[in-house]
């Protein structure tokens, strides 16, 4: 009985290994094709991004505009389909690896052999490598798709602008002129607001100076001695000014007389 159980367990382990190897081979092939798809997607996008000749005929322009659309739809469909298939295979391989881990935990009282653990670790490393490669390739292709969508929208906007009628261009000019007028009005309003703020500031400063002068006068009126002292100082300053002016005038007169003699 015990030998039969050991045989069944051995068969289960071999079956799990066989399924894991089969899935790993399928995922490896899928990842190679997926990577080639990403490379061809990038090359196709670079070719599509080249500017068209302005001297080509309308028929050639129509065919060149239609072909990228068909190729784009086909490439995106292939990318989505292959990404879904790889995701499903990775999920199955993850499930197989989990079952192999459960097998190592349930083989009995004896600890699993080093070869068994090495095999399990090898399968887990392969699963991790495949998952990382798939995530990296998917991220690169998604980044290229987003870049192409952005460039495509820009090109469509440019073509729409070039193909717009004279009326649309005239409307755009009117809109731009209206925008310029609004900007000018906004600048004038800002300057008026600055002038009003400056006027209010000057008025507040004038009121402050007036209140200070009133306080000084009130203080001088309350103390007559200080008021008289201030008046004397002012009189002495005026007298000194008069004396200096008289001396300067005499010196000038003497210089003039000396110059004429």
Other C-beta atoms closer than 10 Å to the C-beta of 196 total 10
Angle between helices 224-260 and 166-222 (to 10 degrees): 110
Q: For residue 62, what pLDDT is reported?
A: 43
Q: What is the pTM of this model?
A: 0.47
**Digit-coded pLDDT (tens) for 58-79:** 434 444 444 444 456 676 778 8
Q: What residues contact 19, with CB distance under 8 A and at least 6 apart? A: 96
Q: What residues contact 40, with CB distance under 8 A and at least 6 apart? A: 75
Q: For residue 229, what pLDDT is reported?
A: 76
3-class SS of residue 121: helix
Q: For residue 249, what pLDDT is reported?
A: 92
**Digit-coded pLDDT (tens) for 147-200:** 877 777 777 777 766 666 555 667 778 888 888 888 888 888 888 888 898 888
**Digit-coded pLDDT (tens) for 69-116:** 445 667 677 888 888 999 999 999 999 999 888 888 877 545 667 888
How far apart CA 35 and CA 23 sit, in angstroms, is: 18
Q: For residue 164, what pLDDT is reported?
A: 61
Check residues 213 and 223 and name the one with the higher pLDDT: 213
Q: For residue 244, what pLDDT is reported?
A: 92
Query: What does the pLDDT average to over 18-22?
Result: 91
Q: For residue 142, what pLDDT is reported?
A: 83
What average pLDDT does the structure give for the chain?
A: 77
CB 89 within 8 A of CB 30: yes
User: Which tokens hold the place of 6?
Assistant: 């050991």
User: Which tokens hold the place of 26?
Assistant: 């399928």
Name the pLDDT band for 248 (thresholds 50, 70, 90). very high
């Amino acid at each position: 009985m015990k030998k039969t159980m050991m045989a069944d367990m051995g068969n289960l382990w071999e079956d799990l290994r066989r399924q894991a190897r089969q899935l790993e081979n399928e995922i490896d092939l899928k990842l190679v094709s997926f990577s080639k798809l990403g490379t061809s997607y990038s090359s196709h996008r670079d070719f599509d991004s080249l500017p068209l000749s302005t001297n080509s005929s309308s028929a050639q322009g129509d065919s060149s505009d239609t072909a990228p659309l068909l190729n784009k739809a086909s490439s995106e469909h292939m990318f989505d389909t292959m990404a879904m298939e790889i995701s499903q295979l990775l999920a199955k391989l993850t499930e197989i690896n989990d079952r192999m881990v459960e097998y190592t935990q349930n083989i009995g009282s004896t600890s699993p052999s080093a070869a068994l653990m090495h095999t399990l670790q090898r399968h887990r490393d392969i699963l991790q490598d495949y998952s990382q490669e798939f995530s990296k390739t998917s991220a690169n292709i998604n980044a290229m798709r987003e870049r192409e969508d952005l460039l495509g929208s820009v090109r469509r906007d440019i073509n729409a602008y070039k193909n717009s009628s004279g009326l649309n261009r005239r409307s755009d000019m009117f809109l731009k002129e209206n925008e310029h007028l609004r900007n000018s009005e906004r600048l004038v309003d800002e300057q008026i607001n600055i002038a009003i703020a400056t006027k209010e500031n000057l008025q507040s400063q004038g009121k402050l100076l007036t209140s200070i002068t009133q306080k000084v006068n009130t203080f001088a009126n309350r103390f007559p001695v200080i008021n008289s002292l201030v008046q004397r100082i002012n009189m002495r300053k005026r007298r000194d000014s008069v004396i200096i002016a008289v001396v300067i005038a005499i010196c000038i007169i003497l210089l003039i007389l000396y110059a004429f003699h």
